[in-house]
Amino acid sequence: PELHITLPVRQVKLQKYISELLHVSLADLGYNLTLTMTPNPLYKRESRLLNSGQITMIMRLATPQRDATFHKINVPLTQSLIGKRLLLIHQRTQSRFDAVQSLESFRDSKLVGVFAPGWYDTQIWQANQLPYIESASDHGTIVRMLTGGNRGFDYFSRGINEIDDYPLSDGLIIEPNLVLSYPLDFHFICTRKTKPIFPFSLVHWNVRRGMVCKPV
């Protein structure tokens, strides 16, 4: 049978991985998949597009709030790699990060993170009393602001499987000593009105088999 899926995914490596995962899994189930990947809009707009049926599903961190609003397909997609966070910083601030040896010293450093509005990370930062700001700018603009300095934040947290999508130039570096870890993962999420459009058991099997962020 024919199957059409529209899914917003921004990162190039993640696009290739998700495309291969879905095509392989669905071909094994006898589906002929047409997959359209669109740019990743801000979460609030993405939710509106999902509710209106303009996109089939989204790929987001599973959170209690999303679970209460949408239907989560219970297949973790990156084996928690997205929950291993590295920090994009400017090299001029490296000495401040060198002093971070624990959560307490990270808190005491007064280093400020930046997140998009609605990101679940903000709740984790609040719970741990870590300073941050929110910015509705696109990721490219956030990186330019980070390299420019004096914008009120010192680092941009990205998953270990997505951080190499960002070109390192103009002093932008990946902080070499710190990994922030929390037990979350991406899941496919659709509306409660939409029944799962195909069996996801084989997708789960392919993830477990090792189709996770393969080198491309």
| Assessment of whether the complete model's pTM goes beyond 0.85 | no
All domains in the chain, ordered by first residue: 2-79+185-209 (3.40.190.10), 81-181 (3.40.190.10)
Q: Is 96 helix (H, G, I), strand (E, B) or coil?
A: helix
CA 40 → CA 94, 105, 122, distances in Å? 30, 34, 19
| DSSP β-bridge partners for residue 86 | 158
Cβ 155 vs Cβ 88: under 8 Å: yes
CA count, 13 A, side-chain hemisphere, 84? 11
6 in helix, strand or coil?
Answer: strand
With CA atoms as reference, report the closest residue to 139 among 7, 12, 3, 4: 12
Task: Please list the pLDDT of the chain residue by residue as tens digits (216 residues).
Answer: 788 889 988 777 778 888 888 888 888 778 888 999 887 766 678 888 888 888 888 888 878 888 888 888 888 888 888 889 999 999 999 999 999 999 999 999 999 999 998 888 999 999 999 999 999 998 899 999 999 988 999 999 998 888 888 889 999 999 999 999 988 888 888 887 766 555 555 565 555 554 443 333
Tokens matching residue 212 = 């996770």
The candidate with the shortest Cα–Cα distance to 160, out of 134, 186, 136, is 186
